[in-house]
Amino acid sequence: MRNLLGLFLTCLAAIAADRPNVIFILSDDQGYGDLSAHGNPILKTPNLDKLRSQSVRFTDFQVSPTCSPTRSALLTGRHEFKNGVTHTILERERMALGAATLPQQLQKAGYRTGIFGKWHLGDEAEYQPNKRGFDEVYIHGAGGIGQSYPGSCGDVPGNSYFSPTLLHNGRFEKTAGYCTDMFFGQATKWIEGEVAAKRPFYAYIATNVPHSPYNARPADAALYEGKGLGTDVENFFGMIHNLDLNVGLLMAKIEAMGIAQDTLVVFMNDNGGTAGVPIFNAGMRGPKGTPYMGGIRAMSFWRWPGHFQPADVKALAAHIDFTPTVLELTGTPASEQMRAQMEGRSLAPLLRAKVGEDIAWPDRTLFTHVGRWGGMVKGVDPEVGKYSQTSVRTAQWHLVSMGKSKASKKAQRVPADFPPATPNWQLFDLSKDYGETTDVAAQHPEVVADLIAKHDAWWKECRPLMVNENAPGPAENPFKVMYREQAGK
């Protein structure tokens, strides 16, 4: 009996020792082409390039076309529409309260959890990250620092990228420095505390850069002056330069603390490119906010020294795979609710593979939809946008409809009952045409019919779960109210 007990305890110790800390870095509006290692002819990102070289790199990794949708899919393992997230404002950015999250599962398994930067899944109290599984919270409001929209989505009034006021565990704090430096600095300080306490941790560093407005530190923007780029791109690249510096400092700190072998570092961007797209888009079509590959392909680097062998992986992967993968790598049981909602696959077999090893990875069907039907108009029937800016993917095929309502260009001025979009399907063979230059729908009608049928079945699944379409918002932004109350104004 004693021998069996000893063996059991030894096994438990081995499992615990093999459970990595996790640092997940997610940049905002940095495109796949906004990396020097991906061929950008102007931008220099030496620290991100180094991280990439040390990582398993998914070269066909799909996210959503905009901010909140991708974040909700990453946190839950299921498509954003099934989390109620169909927009980035108008209460439609709020992640449904019934959705189970990755940090909640990690908390139950003994991990400490922290978020630093951008949340953008609901600014009202019950939607805040401290209610969704995070122990440590250091964030701005809304989708960007200083942004404010009617309803629930809004940041501290007059907030800036320079010395922003941030919400830290329920209290607003005025900082002194550039926003990205603040987020990485606080994350590093928190990580040091968890390492000292010998507690496993999950650190989610979600920068708001290089999202617009394009406000870089002057010294960072100056690196790209005189190249004919224009002020926006100079600042955009400068913001990425600052992000790159912070990634380098964090990686050096991980090494200095002696936890590199015990820490999984993941880096991604949340959607397609923006200001940098005219400079370099890695040969893809479309920017952020479109269902083309340029709007939905992301970087996905996974570094865990001694466990993963750096290599490119061509298998079709997606944001919905992040949660099941982290759960498996950390040995964290998923709740019954989480198991029922997850649609993604664990990428662990691909991550653990030896270089050149052939891992079975069955084909799959993934769905993209820009959402945002109705523009700034609330209460618009989602059926209006069913075929507007939507797509269906397999490893080979990409079926895209850019169909739009005749009234959609005037969405801020038209009534909520404007007519539905007409589908306009295009088919691209990504195995030959990743740049999506040639529509081959006429040559493959059977593929088109099959993917349309899958799209319509998926849409039918999503419709009952779009719980925020007519959700009432507060009279005033919650961050503004809380800030005013704490300031005694």
If you average pLDDT over residues 69-96, what whole number do you get? Answer: 98
Do 96 and 245 reside in the same domain of the chain? yes
Last residue of a domain, one of 325, 352, 379: 352
- Give the residue numbers spanning the domain of 250: 19-352
Q: What is the pLDDT of residue 417?
A: 60
User: Domain for residue 485, yes or no?
Assistant: no
Domain identity same for 246 and 156: yes
323 domain-assigned: yes
My answer on whether 147 and 192 are in the same domain is yes
What CATH number does residue 36 fall under? 3.40.720.10
Three-state DSSP state, 113: strand
Q: DSSP secondary-structure letter at 280?
A: -
Residue where a domain terminates, one of 352, 385, 405: 352
Same domain, 348 and 382: no
146 part of a folded domain: yes
Instruction: State the pLDDT at residue 10.
Output: 36
What pLDDT score was predicted for residue 376? Answer: 87
276 or 12, which is more confident:
276
- Verify that 401 and 457 share a domain, yes or no: yes
Q: How high is the pLDDT of residue 7? A: 39
Note whether 449 and 336 are same-domain residues: no
Q: Are residues 229 and 319 in the same domain?
A: yes
404 has pLDDT over 50:
yes
Averaged pLDDT for residues 163-167: 98
pTM here? 0.95
Does an H or E element contain 397, and which? strand 397-401
Same domain, 385 and 343: no
Q: What is the percent of the chain where pLDDT is above 70?
A: 93
Do 380 and 348 share a structural domain? no
The domain tally of the chain equals 2
Give domain status of residue 483, yes or no.
no
21 pLDDT more than 80: yes
Domain boundary among 352, 385, 420: 352
Domain CATH number, residue 405 = 3.30.1120.10
Angstrom distance (rounded) from CA 190 to CA 186: 6
Provide φ and ψ at 311, rounded to 5°.
-175, 160
pLDDT at 418: 64
Taking 90 as the threshold, does the pLDDT of residue 14 lie above it?
A: no
Pairing type for strands 112-117 and 61-62 reads: unpaired
Q: Answer yes or no: are the C-beta atoms of 165 and 483 closer than 8 Å.
A: yes
In which band, very low, low, confident or very high, does the pLDDT at 12 lie, cut at 50, 70 and 90?
very low
Residues 114 and 249 in one domain: yes
Tokens of 406: 């005749």
pLDDT band at 378 (very low <50, low <70, confident <90, very high): confident
Q: How confident is the model at residue 408 (pLDDT cuts 50, 70, 90)?
A: very low
Mark whether 257 and 321 lie in a shared domain.
Answer: yes
In a domain, 361, yes or no: no
In a domain, 9, yes or no: no
Over 50: is that where the pLDDT of 15 sits?
no
- The residue with tokens 């993968």 is 325
pLDDT digits (tens, 9 = 90+) for 286-333: 999 999 999 999 999 999 999 999 999 999 999 999 999 999 999 999
Q: Decide if 185 is inside a domain.
A: yes
**Does 156 lie in the same domain as 82?**
yes
Q: Is residue 6 domain-resident? A: no
At residue 480, what are phi and psi to the nearest 5 degrees? -65, -45
